[in-house]
Amino acid sequence: MAERIGLIGVGAMGGPMGQNLLRAGHALLIYSRTRARPEVEQLVKAGATYVLTPADIGRGAAVVITMVGNADDAKEVTHDVLSTLARGGLIIGMETIDPATRRLLDDEARGKGVEYLDAPVSGGTIGAEKGTLTIMVGSTKEAFERARPVLSALGTNIYHCGPIGAGAVAKLSNNWIYLASMATVVQASRMAQRAKLDEATTHEIWLKSTGDCVAVRTRVPFRKVVQNNPVDNEYRPGYPIEHALKDLKLIESSAKELGVSTLGLPEVISVYQQAVEQGLAKKDISAVADVIR
């Protein structure tokens, strides 16, 4: 069933997500803090309606999706939406933030008679464009089933992980594996290069052996061995290092809150921090290759 959906956060991820919602037949209201974005113009041309405030989104939509930059932004826009969204509405938070903030927003939403989903995504801009995102949901089962038709326009792998906060933990645990493995792949690549191994052969060995992982398949710091590798394209994102560093800090705080060992994590954070300090914040995470020598 087509819904009247509001989308807050129309950037590299939100833009293509909005296009997929329109293709699925949903009416779409959009809000972006920066009006003059190409993604906004593209959505308006495709049939979306731009509104001036998050509160306007709440007035005009039955389902609201947020895809903003951080926890503070999520708190601000969710609060504004809840000031106008009718009881029985649904908010789907899809940015990567901490589980504690998700629980706080759920409490605020329930106080207004609104259902809330903790629903971060994985798959990057390519997954957003193709509508093949992995979506990790923390919510009641009822809210999950209600949201499923909307989520199905955005992703092909949709999981109910448990109550509010479970989606956030699932996403952070995934990013921990990915970001740590990216740094490890660079270190292993440097080892192979110092030993003067053939890069294409080494890469094939890893692909056929236990070293295989997403970082090896898509972002190995060997030139011209992987198609569409950011390493061959001036580290164009992709997954910007500044976002990765934000996620790593969320991972660290959430792990500590849960009493989980963070062995090795401070060193991984340090690598991404150094990359930011070296002016690589906007570059893809594969640019940590310029930090690890």
For residue 213, what are the CA distances in angstroms to 188, 190, 283?
13, 17, 21
**Is residue 291 a contact partner of residue 271, using CB atoms and an 8 Å limit?**
yes
Q: Which of 48, 34, 35, 43 is nearest to 15 (CA)?
A: 43
The catalytically annotated residue of 75, 171, 246, 282 is 171
Mean pLDDT, the chain, whole residue set: 97
State the amino acid at position 32 in one-letter form: S
Q: How high is the pLDDT of residue 238?
A: 83
Q: How high is the pLDDT of residue 142?
A: 97
CA atoms within 13 Å, Cβ hemisphere of 202: 19
Q: Indicate if 22 and 138 belong to the same structural domain.
A: yes
Provide mean pLDDT across the span 131-148: 98
Q: Which of 255, 20, 274, 256 is nearest to 131 (CA)?
A: 20
Q: Which residues are within 8 A (CB) of 245 and not within 5 positions of it... i.e. 6 or more apart?
A: 269, 272, 273, 275, 276, 281
Q: Indicate if 12 and 114 belong to the same structural domain.
A: yes
Q: Indicate if 192 and 255 belong to the same structural domain.
A: yes
What is the count of structural domains for the chain? 2
CATH number at residue 204: 1.10.1040.10
Q: Indicate if 174 and 144 belong to the same structural domain.
A: no
Res. 237: pLDDT tops 90: no
> Active site includes 171?
yes
Q: Indicate if 71 and 106 belong to the same structural domain.
A: yes
- Name the pTM for this structure: 0.94
- DSSP letter assigned to residue 222: S
Domain end residue (candidates: 121, 147, 163): 163
**Is residue 237 a contact partner of residue 230, using CB atoms and an 8 Å limit?**
yes
Supply the range of the domain harboring residue 244: 169-290
Q: Indicate if 82 and 190 belong to the same structural domain.
A: no
Provide mean pLDDT across the span 242-260: 97
Output phi, psi for 72, to 5 deg.
Answer: -65, -45
**Is residue 139 a contact partner of residue 164, using CB atoms and an 8 Å limit?**
yes
Q: Indicate if 182 and 148 belong to the same structural domain.
A: no
Domain end residue (candidates: 107, 128, 163): 163
Q: Indicate if 55 and 157 belong to the same structural domain.
A: yes
